[in-house]
């Protein structure tokens, strides 16, 4: 690969000092996010492994635990999150064609949907708390599988909790992007941050696509 | 005879003041921040080892109580592994050299690089706080259910420190991978890369893929301790062995995080001081990747006696044996590189020879431990301790010190004193072997690890080991002193005191902040020694 070394005079403002040209910077930011997502896959992978082990050991108890989750709220949240991925993809497109107001609008809409998701999640958590289904000292459960259901709930909370943490970080990132987009920092030649944030957002969405059936839909054929 | 002069402006004197260091995004300065921090932590971890070896001078547990001893070996393990060995070569030499070797001006994400140092420091502070306020006694392995249910020490604080530090290692690995992919100078194709870069690339893969699994295992232990959620507690239906799986899924590959960069250093040093092209470049390059990949499929060899199914153990045993193949390929290729070379016995080369011998012993005893029946006999004995110290100290630290001496003139612009350097290398080699060879014998005879008292018949071997440790300690202090001394009084090195190949030697020493005044173009293979004879000295 032969790269052209741009002189100082013709360097675009968005080009960091240590890159040669925009193409190299674009490639680096994208690869960086993909590698980060690999890390994230392994991060969630540890929990999915633990889930798989206990689900195969305590299949009945996991199905029982799953029935205590609110399938309506879970389904609504799935729809909300998928919609947010659509608006995220649309904001990437708006950035590529240089429509600033559209970009800001779609980013705000994505954030809003993310907040709706977190709000519904909070309602679900509160319900579990009221029903004494939060693992730990306050956990109350009648039945022969009480301990195993507690393990199911532990996975429910740690997996959806980690996912929610990623949503919160994602909303934080989007806030910064809205601010930058508002100040017209992006252009059809420089929109990598939007795309890279989009990759992250879609990843968090996909994690939920796995979490929803694994946690909510056990034994409901 | 020495006419070299320091360049007028370089990365060290371009600006001064504490903020110019704490807010720097220059990869070379960040490397030095890491160097200072891990050196400090190395001596903290070393102090714990000193106390342990003092205790083990006598068969009775008379110097410290068993609880204290448990905290000492935990502190030694945690600090040496997570806060010294894992960051050592990647974060210090790697940070400094990757952009230089690639002909780039910096790593791909300079601010992320600085952030990773801050994360590292934060993690270290957590762990040191735990140590100061009462310590932790679970061993560096944090096995459940002891760590999750029974231990009455600062498990969560220490675990949090390791969790945080893990992200520093992930970010460093991510930065290296992206930099190596996207920022190579014109003409620098993958198969012209220095083998140090190949080694770090393989290391980075492990950091990125393995560390998050450890992070999640640690989070689960902390949750278990804080809320009694039952995941690792058999009384609540959990499985404590699951922790071992998650833990070793990272922590066995972590051994390769420590050794692969050292192997990369050895490849650089051996070609330079044998004045020969490396023998079997492609084999060495791919064997690094092979070790990284195989490393993810061998974790079960830590669990031969932990209720793992015998069939799983057989597979893990076989996979572990396979790691010997790429390791041996490297050793044979290095040896073949020496053949008919014009060998100069400078200090870095002494560390290379130390590495070759000690790593071979460490590697071969690893095969003993991968053998199912033998492992049952020596499991959790001093044999294991000796084995992994031959890899981690005899291998990784030898590589680190060799590399530090080799690139010291590039980092500081000044030479270390050669005579003292050779002496220290010799002292370290002798001290190391006296410390750890008796431990092979002790372990074979049945001395279990992690005990602070032992039957009287083991005393001779323990005294030998403690005597060796004190020699080893002196051996580590000598370089510390002369490296600091050389900062002011060392001879000015000039850009390429070794007559070495590689882009990092083509810029001034110390390099300017942007590394190269003009972006270099690469036109020849790596290690093109012999194409143009250069002599040392």
3-state secondary structure at position B184 = coil
* Chain B nearest C-alpha distance from A55 (Å): 12
pLDDT of residue A2: 44
CA–CA separation, B73 vs B377, rounded Å?
22
Kindly give the parts of chain B with pLDDT less than 70.
1-2, 531-537
ipTM of the complex: 0.92
Q: Which of A32, A39, A42 is the closest to B108 by Cβ?
A: A32
CB–CB contact B230 A18 (8 Å):
no
pLDDT of residue B3: 72
* Chain B nearest C-alpha distance from A8 (Å): 13
Please state the domain extents for chain A: 43-216
CA–CA separation, B447 vs B77, rounded Å?
19
CA–CA separation, B20 vs B92, rounded Å?
19
pLDDT of residue A8: 53
Q: Which of B182, B223, B237 is the closest to A28 by Cβ?
A: B182
pLDDT of residue A4: 47
What's the per-residue H, E or C state across B103-129? CCCCCCCHHHHHHHHHHHHHHHHHHHH
Sort out which chain B residues have CB atoms less than 8 A from A136's CB and list them. Answer: 227-229
Q: Which of A16, A31, A49 is the closest to B181 by Cβ?
A: A31
Looking at the complex, does the CB of residue A70 fall below 8 Å from at least one CB of chain B? no
Distances (CA, A) of B359 to A44, B37, B264, B395: 35, 26, 14, 5
CA–CA separation, B520 vs B514, rounded Å?
12
Sort out which chain A residues have CB atoms less than 8 A from B99's CB and list them. Answer: 18
CB–CB contact B108 A46 (8 Å):
no
CB–CB contact A28 B215 (8 Å):
no
pLDDT of residue A9: 55
Chain B residue with Cα closest to A23: B182
- Going by C-alpha positions, the residue among B87, B217, B41, B42 that lies closest to residue B142 is B217
CATH topology of domain A43-216: 1.20.120
* Chain A nearest C-alpha distance from B237 (Å): 6
* Chain B nearest C-alpha distance from A60 (Å): 14
| pTM (2 d.p.) | 0.95
Chain B residue with Cα closest to A58: B237
CA–CA separation, B134 vs B510, rounded Å?
43
DSSP string for residues in B303-364? -TTTT--HHHHHHHHHHHHHHHHHHHHHHHHHHHHHTT------HHHHHHHHHHHHHHHHHH
Contact residues, chain B to chain A, C-beta under 8 Å: 99, 104-110, 170, 174-175, 177-179, 181-183, 186, 208-213, 215-217, 219-220, 223, 227-231, 236-239, 242, 245-246, 249, 514, 519
Interface-testing mutation among B216, B249, B253, with chain A (most A C-beta atoms within 10 A):
B216
CA–CA separation, B142 vs B244, rounded Å?
9
3-state secondary structure at position B491 = coil
Interface-testing mutation among B230, B242, B518, with chain A (most A C-beta atoms within 10 A):
B230
* Chain A nearest C-alpha distance from B105 (Å): 5
Please state the domain extents for chain B: 26-506
Looking at the complex, does the CB of residue A146 fall below 8 Å from at least one CB of chain B? no
Looking at the complex, does the CB of residue A21 fall below 8 Å from at least one CB of chain B? no
- Going by C-alpha positions, the residue among B287, B296, B267, B294 that lies closest to residue B279 is B267
Q: What letter does residue B14 receive in the DSSP assignment?
A: S
Chain A residue with Cα closest to B107: A18
- Going by C-alpha positions, the residue among B341, B460, B376, B411 that lies closest to residue B94 is B411
What's the per-residue H, E or C state across chain A? CCCCCCCHHHCCCCCCCCCCCHHHHHHHHHHHHHHHHHHHHHHHHHHHHHHHHHHHHCHHHHHHHHCCCCHHHHHHHHHHHHHHHHHHHHHHHHHHCCCHHHHHHHHHHHHHHHHHHHHHHHHHHHHHHHCCCCCCCCCCCCCCCHHHHHHHHHHHHHHHHHHHHHHHHHHHHHHHHHHHHHCCCCECCECHHHHHHHHHHHHHHHHHHHHHHHHHCCCCC
Instruction: Name the burial class of residue B41, with classes exposed (0-12), middle (13-18) and buried (19+) by CB atoms within 10 angstroms of its CB.
Output: buried
pLDDT digits (tens, 9 = 90+) for B72-122: 999 999 999 999 999 999 999 999 999 999 999 999 999 999 999 999 999
CB–CB contact B239 A38 (8 Å):
no
* Chain B nearest C-alpha distance from A157 (Å): 10
Sort out which chain B residues have CB atoms less than 8 A from A1's CB and list them. Answer: 186
Compute φ and ψ for B509, nearest 5 degrees. -125, 120
Instruction: Name the burial class of residue A9, with classes exposed (0-12), middle (13-18) and buried (19+) by CB atoms within 10 angstroms of its CB.
Output: exposed
CA–CA separation, B294 vs B363, rounded Å?
15
CA–CA separation, B480 vs B458, rounded Å?
34
- Going by C-alpha positions, the residue among B149, B147, B144, B135 that lies closest to residue B75 is B135
- Going by C-alpha positions, the residue among B256, B244, B220 that lies closest to residue B300 is B244
pLDDT of residue A1: 41
CA–CA separation, B254 vs B291, rounded Å?
11
Sort out which chain A residues have CB atoms less than 8 A from B236's CB and list them. Answer: 147, 150-151
- Going by C-alpha positions, the residue among B124, B95, B120 that lies closest to residue B29 is B95
Q: What letter does residue B142 receive in the DSSP assignment?
A: T
CA–CA separation, B52 vs B71, rounded Å?
10
Sort out which chain A residues have CB atoms less than 8 A from B242's CB and list them. Answer: 50, 53
- Going by C-alpha positions, the residue among A69, A71, A103, A72 that lies closest to residue A88 is A103
Mean pLDDT for back-to-back runs of 10 residues, chain A (221 residues): 51 89 94 97 96 95 94 97 97 95 97 98 96 90 91 96 97 97 93 96 98 92 60
Chain A residue with Cα closest to B99: A18
Tally A–B CB contacts below 8 A.
Answer: 117
Instruction: Name the burial class of residue A147, with classes exposed (0-12), middle (13-18) and buried (19+) by CB atoms within 10 angstroms of its CB.
Output: middle
- Asked whether B289 and B198 are in contact (CB, 8 A), the reply is yes
Sort out which chain B residues have CB atoms less than 8 A from A147's CB and list them. Answer: 230, 236-237
Exposure pattern of B468-493 as b/e (b: 16+ CB <10 Å)?
bbebbbebbebbeebbeebeeebeeb
CB–CB contact A147 B230 (8 Å):
yes
Instruction: Name the burial class of residue A10, with classes exposed (0-12), middle (13-18) and buried (19+) by CB atoms within 10 angstroms of its CB.
Output: exposed
Sort out which chain B residues have CB atoms less than 8 A from A135's CB and list them. Answer: 227-230
Please tell me the CATH code under which domain B26-506 is placed. 1.20.210.10
Q: Which of B182, B213, B239 is the closest to A42 by Cβ?
A: B213
pLDDT of residue B382: 97
* Chain A nearest C-alpha distance from B224 (Å): 9
């Amino acid at each position: 690969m032969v790269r052209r070394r741009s002189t100082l005079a013709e360097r675009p403002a968005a080009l960091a000092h240590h890159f040669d040209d925009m193409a190299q910077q674009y490639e680096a930011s994208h690869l960086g996010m993909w590698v980060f997502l690999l890390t994230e896959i392994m991060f969630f992978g540890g929990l999915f492994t633990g889930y798989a082990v206990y689900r195969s050991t305590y299949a009945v108890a996991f199905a029982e635990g799953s029935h205590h989750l609110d399938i309506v709220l879970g389904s609504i949240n799935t729809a909300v999150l998928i919609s947010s991925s659509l608006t995220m993809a649309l904001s990437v497109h708006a950035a590529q064609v240089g429509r600033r107001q559209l970009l800001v609008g779609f980013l705000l809409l994505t954030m809003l949907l993310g907040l709706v998701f977190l709000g519904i999640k909070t309602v679900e958590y509160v319900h579990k708390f009221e029903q004494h289904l939060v693992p730990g000292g306050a956990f109350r459960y009648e039945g022969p599988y009480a301990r195993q259901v507690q393990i199911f709930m532990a996975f429910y909370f740690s997996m959806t909790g980690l996912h929610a943490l990623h949503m919160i970080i994602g909303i934080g990132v989007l806030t910064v992007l809205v601010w930058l987009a508002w100040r017209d920092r992006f252009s059809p030649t420089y929109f990598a941050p939007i795309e890279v944030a989009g990759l992250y957002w879609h990843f968090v969405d996909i994690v939920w696509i796995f979490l929803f059936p694994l946690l909510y839909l056990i034994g409901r054929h | 005879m020495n006419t070299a002069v320091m360049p007028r402006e370089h990365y060290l004197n371009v600006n001064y003041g504490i903020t110019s260091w704490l807010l720097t995004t220059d990869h070379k300065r960040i490397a030095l921040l890491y160097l200072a921090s891990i050196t400090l932590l190395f001596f903290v971890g070393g102090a714990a080892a000193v106390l342990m070896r003092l205790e083990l001078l006598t068969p009775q547990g008379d110097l410290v109580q068993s609880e204290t001893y448990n905290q000492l070996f935990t502190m030694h393990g945690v600090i040496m592994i997570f806060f010294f060995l894992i960051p050592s070569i990647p974060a210090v030499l790697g940070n400094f050299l990757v952009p230089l070797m690639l002909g780039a001006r910096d790593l791909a994400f300079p601010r992320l690089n600085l952030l990773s140092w801050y994360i590292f420091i934060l993690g270290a502070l957590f762990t040191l706080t735990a140590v100061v306020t009462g310590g932790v006694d679970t061993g560096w392995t944090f096995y459940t259910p002891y760590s999750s249910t029974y231990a009455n020490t600062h498990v969560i604080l220490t675990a949090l420190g390791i969790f945080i530090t893990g992200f520093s290692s992930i970010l460093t690995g991510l930065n290296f991978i992206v930099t190596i992919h996207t920022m190579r100078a014109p003409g620098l194709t993958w198969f012209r890369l220095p083998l140090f870069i190949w080694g770090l690339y393989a290391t980075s893969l492990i950091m990125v893929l393995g560390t998050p699994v450890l992070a999640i295992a640690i989070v689960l232990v902390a949750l278990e301790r804080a809320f009694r959620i039952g995941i690792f507690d058999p009384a609540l239906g959990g499985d404590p062995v699951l922790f071992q799986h998650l833990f070793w899924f990272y922590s066995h590959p972590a051994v390769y995080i420590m050794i692969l960069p050292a192997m990369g250093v050895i490849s650089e040093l051996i070609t330079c001081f044998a004045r020969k092209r490396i023998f079997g470049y492609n084999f060495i390059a791919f064997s690094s990747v092979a070790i990284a990949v195989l490393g993810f499929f061998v974790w079960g060899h830590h669990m031969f006696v932990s209720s793992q199914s015998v069939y799983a153990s057989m597979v893990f045993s076989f996979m572990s044996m396979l790691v010997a193949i790429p390791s041996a390929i490297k050793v044979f290729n290095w040896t073949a590189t020496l053949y008919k070379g014009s060998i100069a016995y400078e200090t870095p080369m002494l560390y290379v020879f130390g590495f070759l011998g000690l790593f071979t012993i460490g590697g071969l005893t690893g095969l003993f431990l991968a053998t199912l029946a033998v492992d049952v006999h020596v499991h959790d004995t001093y044999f294991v301790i000796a084995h992994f110290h031959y890899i981690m100290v005899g291998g990784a630290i030898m590589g680190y010190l060799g590399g530090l001496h080799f690139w010291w003139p590039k980092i500081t612009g000044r030479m270390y004193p050669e005579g003292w350097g050779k002496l220290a290398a010799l002292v370290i080699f002798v001290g190391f072997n006296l410390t750890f060879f008796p431990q092979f014998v002790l372990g074979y005879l049945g001395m279990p690890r992690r005990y602070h008292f032992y039957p009287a018949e083991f005393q001779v071997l323990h005294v030998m080991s403690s005597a060796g440790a004190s020699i080893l300690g002196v051996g580590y202090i000598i370089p510390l002193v002369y490296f600091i001394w050389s900062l002011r009084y060392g001879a000015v090195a000039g850009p390429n005191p070794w007559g070495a190949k590689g882009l990092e030697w083509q810029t001034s020493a110390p390099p300017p902040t942007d590394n190269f005044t003009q972006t270099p173009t690469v036109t020849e293979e790596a290690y093109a020694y012999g194409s143009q004879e250069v002599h040392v000295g």
